[in-house]
A and B are shown apart, each in its own frame.
Chain A
Amino acid sequence: MAEISTSSKEPGKKGKPKKLSTRIDFTPMCDLGFLLITFFMLSTSMSKPQTMELSMPSKDKVAEEEQNKVKASTAVTIILGAENKVFYYFGIGTEEQEPQVIETSFAPDGIRRVLLQRNQEVVAQMKQLKEQMTNRIITEEEFKKKASEIKSNKTAPVVLIKSTDEATYENLVDILDEMQICNIARYAIVDITDYDKGLIAKLSTPGIPNP
Chain B
Amino acid sequence: MPKIKIKRKSTAVDMTAMTDVAFLLLTFLLLTANFIKPEAVIVAAPSSVSEIKIPETNILEILVDPEGRVFIGIDNQEKRAELLKRFGEVYHLSFTAKESKEFSLTNSFGVPAEKLKAFLDLPSILRGMPENALGIPCDSTNNQFKEWVRLVREVNPSITLAIKADRSTPYPKIKNVMNTLQSLRENRYHLITNLEAMPKDL
Contact = CB atoms under 8 A, between A and B. Distances in A.
Q: Are both chains from one complex?
A: yes
Interface of A: 3, 25-27, 29-30, 33-34, 36-37, 40-41, 43-59, 80, 108, 112, 116, 123, 127, 163-174, 176-177, 180-181, 189, 191
Given A25-B12, A169-B167, A51 B191 contact: yes
Contact of B35 (A34, A43, A173): A43
Q: Interface SS of chain A: helix, strand, loop or mixed? A: mixed
Given A26-B16, A36-B26, A181-B49, A51 B171 contact: no
Chain B interface size, as a band, is 35 or more
B52 interface: yes
A176 B48 contact: yes
A40 B52 contact: no
Contacts of B25: 33, 37
Interface in B180-197: 181-183, 185, 187-196
**Which 3 pairs from chain A and chain B are nearest by CB?**
A33-B22, A26-B15, A44-B33
Nearest to B55: A51
Q: Interface SS of chain B: helix, strand, loop or mixed? A: mixed
Contact of A37 (B22, B164, B171, B181): B22
Nearest to A126: B202
Nearest to B169: A169
A8 B119 CA distance: 63
A71 to B, nearest CB: 24
B162 interface: yes
